[in-house]
Amino acid sequence: MGLITELTLRLAGIPEATSTLMCSFNDIGVATAAVMKALQFGLCLNRIELADAMQMAAINAHGGIDLLEAPTLWIELAGSAATVADDAKVLRDLVRNADAGRIEAARNAEDAAALWRIRHSALYAARALRPGIKGISTDVCVRVSALPTCIEGIRSVVRTTAIQAPLMGHVGDGNFHIVLLFHPEDPTESAEAQKITSAMIDLTLSLGGTSTGEHGVGLGKKAYMEVEHGPALDLMCDSKRCIGPANIMNSGKIFDL
């Protein structure tokens, strides 16, 4: 809605120490419950990433590696050396008690970088499940305590379709993504992809979440803004009319004037 004329940059120091774990679980609900416990323990968590079994299978096929094809968490702790060491022990006990099938702890910075490269390859690996089909990435965000319900609800909808939809997410803040691998010119596949997207958003809103954390902010989720924001959307429209009566700034994004 405007032009940036000045930026203020805030610098953050590099943590004294970090520790990275990659943990596999038999069930995605157990994995997300482990995330909640880790947050409740007040550990010095810096990153928590999730991939489901389909995503891990895609990573194996794409990278020629042999990881467990099961729901997987990548967790990074960051802080002082003493705090990280203590919290890492607590975290390992926590995931063991959650029946983690495999726990791989990085021994040094090189090991940690290798574990995070696996996570960073996820989108490319997902798209490689259907070569030539780019698909779309979509996401929602809920409070962390609602993650198990939301993820299982979406997975149950996906299972009623023929769409491949690997799941990954930044679950430390309740944000998760699915990659919908469908051919946009196939009416059946397009309808099933839309069914998944609509169900994902409806369930998320019913749980008090938001229809988007990153994807589809301006156009893809526009149809759901009134349901999510109610009368507040009218206030947003009025504000935009006051600031830009000619409607030339991001015209058609988020709402129509």
Q: Which two tokens stand for residue 160?
A: 């009623």
Looking at the DSSP bridge assignments, the partners of residue 73 are: 23, 50
Q: What is the pLDDT of residue 217?
A: 86
pLDDT in tens, the chain (257 residues): 567 899 999 998 899 999 999 999 999 999 999 999 999 999 999 999 999 999 999 999 999 999 999 999 999 999 999 999 999 999 999 999 988 889 999 999 999 999 999 999 999 999 999 998 878 999 999 999 999 999 999 999 999 999 999 999 999 999 999 999 999 999 999 999 999 999 999 999 999 999 999 998 889 999 999 999 999 999 999 999 998 899 888 888 988 88
Buried b (16+ CB within 10 A) or exposed e, 124-136: ebbbbbeeebebe
Residue 182 backbone class (left: φ over 0; alpha: ψ -120 to 50; beta: rest): beta
Which top CATH class is 130-229? Answer: alpha beta
Residue carrying the six token digits 């419950």: 33
Give the DSSP per-residue string, 123-160. Answer: HHHHHTTSTT---EEEEEE--GGGHHHHHHHHHHHHTT
Domain boundaries, the chain: 17-125, 130-229
| Residue 149 amino acid letter | T
Is the dihedral angle over the CA atoms 88, 90, 93, 97 positive or is it negative? negative
Do 17-125 and 130-229 come out as alike in CATH topology?
yes
Predicted TM-score (pTM) of this structure: 0.90
First to last CA, the chain: 13
Measured in residues, the chain has a length of 257
CATH code: domain 17-125 is: 3.30.70.2190
